[in-house]
Amino acid sequence: MGDADFFMIYEWNGNEYQFVEKRSNVPFEEEKHGSQKKMQHILKIVGDCDVFIGGVLSPNFLNLRDKTSVQPVVSKIEEIEKTLDTLNKHAKVIEELVQSRKEGKRPRAIPRISEDGIEMLH
């Protein structure tokens, strides 16, 4: 989650997406993989986002799921645009999870999207 050099931020309305900005990830020395401190460090950078998409189900994706209002999504698709196009195809599922989080709930589902579709990890 925090090993990326930068994060690409997009505005998404469930049908369309638009690039907003590229945010640098300042290196963070972590004591152990998946530490709470590292998650808090990353949330300072992307905590204003409703959805966080990454390529791997890291330990901190579980922490995001259980302890924050940010909905984690795993993508098996390499290209950002294809990932966002696939997200559009499954917008209803993602929007329902985001809305639940805005209501203070913490759904256990983490969607994993691929070119074949979407599946829920728990």
Digitized pLDDT (tens) for each residue of the chain, 122 residues in all: 667 889 999 998 878 899 999 999 887 666 666 677 888 888 999 999 999 999 989 888 899 999 999 999 999 999 999 999 999 999 999 999 999 999 999 999 999 999 999 999 98
User: Number of helices (H) and strands (E), helices first, in the chain?
Assistant: 4, 6
What integer pLDDT is reported at residue 78 of this predicted model? Answer: 93
Is the Cβ–Cβ distance between 94 and 73 less than 8 Å?
Answer: yes
d(CA 41, CA 13): 27
Is the Cβ–Cβ distance between 54 and 80 less than 8 Å?
Answer: no
What integer pLDDT is reported at residue 60 of this predicted model? Answer: 86
What integer pLDDT is reported at residue 122 of this predicted model? Answer: 84
Q: Which of 108, 1, 103, 16 is nearest to 54 (CA)?
A: 1
